[in-house]
Amino acid sequence: MKVGGQHFRTIWLNPENERLVQLIDQRFLPHRFVIEEVSTVAQMATAIREMHVRGAGLIGASAGYGMYLATIEAAGSGSFDEHVVNAAAQLKATRPTAVNLTWAIEWQLTSIAKGKTAQHKIDLALRTARRIAAEDEEHCRMIGQHGLKLIEQIARTRDGKPVNVLTHCNAGWLAFVDYGSALAPVYAAHDRALPVHVWVDETRPRSQGSKLTAWELGQHGVPHTIIADSAGGHLMQRGAVDLVIVGSDRTTCTGDVANKIGTYLKALAAQDNEVPFYVALPSSSFDWTIRDGSEIPIEERGAEELKRADGWRDGQMLEVSVAPEDSPAANYGFDVTPRRLVTGLITERGVCKADEKSILELFPEHAS
């Protein structure tokens, strides 16, 4: 999507040296637009763990490129296979909840295993990394087209007034390679001149809504308003939300949705106010091995993230202390929204109900 009028993806190869991966270091947004160059698995693991890159699809694509870097490193090491296996373990350990991470690494391991020589393995890993990224982009584009129909439907009842979409966290193009999941339908609508307005949950404690979603919508010219995470229910009670669309870090084959902490509360409010609640996800975010959302591991992050706030001041990122130094804090990254609260899933193959039968009708290759 657009940054200052120029088209960007979130991750790409340095066009002058394809052994280097470039990515937008999202920690500095919206204050500074920083491009980071990554040349080692260790750097990529840090970039994922420390959230220079984040979001289901982008974590997958980054892991894909990370495994490509692993093959380059492996060629210069004593034992190619051992190095690749270790790199896979290192990358897998960075974030526990996003299933795309494992999915991308497994795909790479299968690809790399087919190589006859070190150079062949590197070539295969490069091709797969590109395919993972291209597929992510294409799936998000398709999610946009399918979700667009939902927005068009509502727009017909709004008499030219904007369709109000509420979203939580960032499931925009910054969370993927391009387009995004939850925001792809919004961009598709905006690009077709359908009036659309987004309520942006700030999404504490890392404020991905205020920092990333607001920024990317603003850069692309989409009208939006930042709200506290607590405000969505009030807006729905007042009829100010026509549609909720969120992303997902992992969705079970039965339709339970793990997403950023607080998603469940918005789903409850949507149900209570009869607002449609959609989850947009590429098929790479399904976990076909888990039947119940309660089995999804929920990442707990450090307490300091919650007790402090960071932002821009005097030309630099500064962290300030909000809570008492000696008060403990618990920082859960995700929650699980049970399928009964989900109106539908928007996937690259179309929109379906959040139940096993409907999901497997769209993805019959995963029926066991």
Residues forming the active site = 249
- Say whether residue 324 binds its own copies (CB under 8 A): yes
User: By C-alpha distance, which of 217, 291, 276, 243 is closest to 30?
Assistant: 217
- Say whether residue 232 binds its own copies (CB under 8 A): yes
* Complex with its own copies: residue 198 or 280, whichever CB lies closer: 198
Binding to its own copies in span 255-294, by CB under 8 A:
260-262, 264-266, 268-269, 272
Let me know: does 258 contact 33? Beta carbons within 8 Å: no
Number of amino acids touching its own copies (CB under 8 A): 63
Binding to its own copies in span 188-207, by CB under 8 A:
200, 202-205, 207
At its nearest, how many Å lie between its own copies and the CB of residue 157? 23
At its nearest, how many Å lie between its own copies and the CB of residue 76? 43
- Say whether residue 327 binds its own copies (CB under 8 A): yes
Whose tokens are 């821009």? That residue is 312
Distance between CA atoms of 221 and 251, rounded to whole angstroms? 31
- Say whether residue 214 binds its own copies (CB under 8 A): yes
* Complex with its own copies: residue 193 or 320, whichever CB lies closer: 320
Among 79, 237, 289, 291, binds its own copies (CB under 8 A): 237
State both tokens at 204: 């504490």
Query: Which amino acid, residue 229?
Result: D
User: By C-alpha distance, which of 171, 174, 175, 155 is closest to 163?
Assistant: 155
b/e per residue, 243-254, with b = 16+ CB within 10 A? bbbbbbbbbbbb
Whose tokens are 């990122």? That residue is 317
User: By C-alpha distance, which of 31, 33, 27 is closest to 47?
Assistant: 27
* Complex with its own copies: residue 85 or 265, whichever CB lies closer: 265
> In the 8-state DSSP scheme, what is residue 162?
P
Among 162, 233, 276, 350, binds its own copies (CB under 8 A): 233
Binding to its own copies in span 26-55, by CB under 8 A:
30-31
Dihedral sign for Cα atoms in the order 336, 228, 277, 57? negative
> Residue numbers of the site for its own copies (CB under 8 A)?
30-31, 200, 202-205, 207, 210-211, 214-215, 217-218, 224-235, 237, 260-262, 264-266, 268-269, 272, 298, 303, 306-313, 318-324, 326-332, 334-336
